[in-house]
Amino acid sequence: MSLCRLVVTCPDRVGIVARVSSFIAEKGGSITEANQHSDLETGRFFMRYEVETRNMSVDSDSFRQAFACIAKEFDMQWQWRDGEQRRRRLMIMVSRESHCLVDLLYRWTAGELDCDIAGVISNHEDMRSVVEWHGIEYHHVPVAADDKTSAFSSVEKIIENSQADTIVLARYMQIIPPALCERYSGQIINIHHSFLPSFAGARPYHQAHTRGVKLIGATCHYVTQELDAGPIIEQDIQRVTHCHTASDLVRLGRDIEKSVLARGVRWHLQDRVLIDGNKTVVFS
């Protein structure tokens, strides 16, 4: 097994850390990274342990079986992710803007993103050559304004057949239907090109330029039915001035979008992001 991750959320109470850490020690596991958080407003507790398991007396299935008793006692939602189960499969979705897609493909090629890329879905043909150059399957699924239902049933079938467990909207400019949001709740990551909640929706840089902002930003968030309102994973900003045109904001924003999305995806792949209602706990 070697390195495994234990991720837990449960109602907060005294004794959780003591019980879980002593259980891991009893099985011969060594906790190499420990993160925890108590949300005093909601009374929820969040934990993420990385565990070196080479000296453990049990395998992953036996660990899960034994830990289930503790999980039941503390009403935990939990995951024990070992090497085999740990590697996620990403489906990337893109429209016409290439910068976030190309940045993710570069980082994946460089080994920065510990995942498989199951494929790329786009409503345009523009990105086919760069995707296929990386040896990744490209799915062109046009979205007709008057028939989005059939387009997204094709999208859902492609995602299902690819066995992807994480979907990354790398400037994909179509609204994901409620059913797909529900089915992949907490598994669809979007990069919005503004510092949310400011300038949600379309053309945020032009909205920002009209408003005369002195900061622009980008937001990586989980996708929900409500547009650009899902749990925020990561954000960043950059100063701008009256000298910058709307096109300047678009150009300057690209670098922020790429880095914010990459951090958000990487933390998700490492099980560092735990959803807390419409917020997140990020053990970065």
Ligand X SMILES: Nc1nc2c(c(=O)[nH]1)N[C@@H](CN(C=O)c1ccc(C(=O)N[C@@H](CCC(=O)O)C(=O)O)cc1)CN2
Query: Which residues are known to be catalytic?
Result: 228
The identity of residue 275, as a single letter, is I
- Which DSSP helix (H) or strand (E) runs through 235? strand 232-239
**Minimum distance from CB of 229 to ligand X (Å)?**
7
HSE, side-chain direction, 13 A CA sphere, residue 100: 33
**Minimum distance from CB of 48 to ligand X (Å)?**
25
**Minimum distance from CB of 230 to ligand X (Å)?**
6
Question: Based on CB atoms, which residue is closest to ligand X, 159 or 176?
Answer: 176
Question: Based on CB atoms, which residue is closest to ligand X, 174 or 185?
Answer: 174
Give the three-class secondary structure for 200.
Answer: coil
Question: Based on CB atoms, which residue is closest to ligand X, 16 or 180?
Answer: 180
Question: Based on CB atoms, which residue is closest to ligand X, 51 or 220?
Answer: 220
* Range 192-198, long-range pairs (CB < 8 A, 24+ positions): 192/218, 192/219, 192/220, 192/221, 192/228, 193/218, 193/253, 193/257, 194/218, 194/219, 195/219, 195/235, 195/237, 196/221, 196/228, 196/229, 196/232, 196/235, 197/228, 197/229
**Minimum distance from CB of 278 to ligand X (Å)?**
12
Question: Based on CB atoms, which residue is closest to ligand X, 207 or 225?
Answer: 225
Contact call for residues 207 and 199 (beta carbons, < 8 A): yes
The identity of residue 143, as a single letter, is V
**Minimum distance from CB of 100 to ligand X (Å)?**
11
Q: Name the site residues for ligand X (rule: CB under 6 A).
A: 169, 172-176, 181, 190, 192, 201-202, 223-225, 227-228, 230
Angle among Cα 29, 34, 40 to the nearest 5 degrees reads 135
Give the three-class secondary structure for 206.
Answer: helix
